[in-house]
Amino acid sequence: MTTRQQIIRSRRWVVKIGSALLTNDGRGLNQQGIANWVEQLAALRRQGYELILVSSGAVAEGMSRLGWGKRPSALHELQAAAAVGQMGLVQTYESCFQRHDMHTAQVLLTHDDLSNRGRYLNARSTLRTLLDLGVVPIINENDTVVTDEIRFGDNDTLGALVANLLEAELLVILTDQAGMCDRDPRQHPDAKLLHETSANAPGLEEMAGGSGGALGRGGMLTKVRAARLAARSGSATVIAAGREDNVLLRLAAGEQLGTLFLPDQQPIAARKQWLAGHLQVRGTLTLDAGAVRVLRESGKSLLPVGVKGVKGNFLRGEMVTCVDEAGKEIARGLVNYSAQETQRILGEPSNRIEALLGYVDEPELINRDNLILC
């Protein structure tokens, strides 16, 4: 099996669909197109894929409903359009997925949700639970409340951040273009499609050209940047034409469609590197010999029963260091409970967390996916 086939057949996909596709280039929701993409997603779900849908289109649909022919520049008008358009967008998705006996969930995010470590973990836990339940999360930027300071800027970036959030192996960006070309095809008719490239290959941004159309905030340049962002967590990215017949099913079958951007590292290694180098340590957990052995030899999560001491004033989602009883650093990770909560549950089995705190966020103090050995 080739590298491309291995990546394409990975179990967790984030699929992003752009505004131009979803709204027939601004003429209102593309009902037939949405039904077709949903039918493909349903078929992939039956094959065992875990799917997260990142959908644009709320602002464009709101503009159509309000009779606006030009995308507004004022933030409050964009927010109003998003609020109106989100209603039609979600209703359409819900009715289409129901035809296939599938449940969906609307999730609206802002950049602040993914930069705040506690809210990052909350979003991650919720989305993982939805996937475990067989529900398809439909994610969009929360355009009704964002400001210029906290907005993602485009849903390509949002798709990449969601791929990072859920350790998805593949980000699929469906657009109105066939993929990434070696030159801007709008200016160079002889431009050639790139079938496969490293996400970090030099010169990609220059090849991508300028911004997109009037409806969306993205363009090929934002898609290249999204592929690079996804690659930081080990996710591959495919940019492909959403109007191709059965594009998702043909991708899953291994057909060479669009452009595949390959990461330089495997997902686990990339995430561990991110944890190790990009967050400040806020506290210290002292582990007993049994917990040290489990982390080193078994690669398991850290449970509160193996913790003997707590230092610092950290919050849920912040980075802590784990040391043995001699003070030697063993690991670092994102903690699921605050320092005060950890003090109350240290040394206790996980089935006692609810009795001690009155609630349970996670059975682990640090999940193994959020922990790196030193």
The tens digit of pLDDT for each residue in 224-256 reads: 989 988 887 788 999 999 999 999 999 999 899
User: Residue 143's pLDDT is what?
Assistant: 63
Say if residue 234 is in the same domain as residue 290: no
Domain boundary among 235, 267, 299: 267
Position 105 in a domain: yes
CATH value at residue 361? 2.30.130.10
Say if residue 262 is in the same domain as residue 308: no
User: Residue 74's pLDDT is what?
Assistant: 83
CATH value at residue 55? 3.40.1160.10
Across the chain, mean pLDDT equals 86
Q: Which structure tokens are listed for 316?
A: 């849920």
CB 357 within 8 A of CB 344: yes
Say if residue 72 is in the same domain as residue 167: yes
User: Residue 200's pLDDT is what?
Assistant: 86
Q: How confident is the model at residue 147 (pLDDT cuts 50, 70, 90)?
A: low
Q: How confident is the model at residue 373 (pLDDT cuts 50, 70, 90)?
A: confident
17-28: average pLDDT: 80
Say if residue 241 is in the same domain as residue 305: no
User: Residue 217's pLDDT is what?
Assistant: 45
Say if residue 245 is in the same domain as residue 284: no
11-20, 179-188, 213-222: least confident range: 213-222
Percent of the chain with pLDDT over 90: 48
43-52: average pLDDT: 95
Position 325 in a domain: yes
User: Residue 309's pLDDT is what?
Assistant: 96
Q: How confident is the model at residue 128 (pLDDT cuts 50, 70, 90)?
A: very high
End-to-end CA distance of the chain: 34
The tens digit of pLDDT for each residue in 290-328 reads: 999 999 988 899 999 999 999 999 989 888 999 999 999
CB 80 within 8 A of CB 118: no
Say if residue 118 is in the same domain as residue 258: yes
Q: Is the pLDDT of residue 148 over 80?
A: no
Say if residue 147 is in the same domain as residue 47: yes
Domain boundary among 200, 235, 267: 267
- d(CA 179, CA 330) in angstroms, rounded, equals 45
Position 273 in a domain: no
Say if residue 247 is in the same domain as residue 309: no
Say if residue 127 is in the same domain as residue 17: yes
Q: Is the pLDDT of residue 181 over 70?
A: yes
Q: Is the pLDDT of residue 150 over 50?
A: no
Position 62 in a domain: yes
Pick from 3, 241, 93, 159: nearest CA to 250: 241
Q: How far is CA 172 from CA 13, 51, 123, 132, 160, in A?
A: 7, 11, 21, 21, 10
User: Residue 63's pLDDT is what?
Assistant: 87
Q: Enter the pTM of the model.
A: 0.74
Q: How confident is the model at residue 115 (pLDDT cuts 50, 70, 90)?
A: low
Domain boundary among 267, 296, 312: 267
Position 272 in a domain: no
Q: How far is CA 284 from CA 90, 96, 144, in A?
A: 44, 49, 39
User: Could you give the number of structural domains in the chain?
Assistant: 2
Give the residue with greater pLDDT, 19 vs 14: 14
Give the residue with greater pLDDT, 342 vs 201: 342
Question: Domain range holding 12?
Answer: 3-267
Burial of 152 (0-12, 13-18, 19+ CB in 10 A): buried
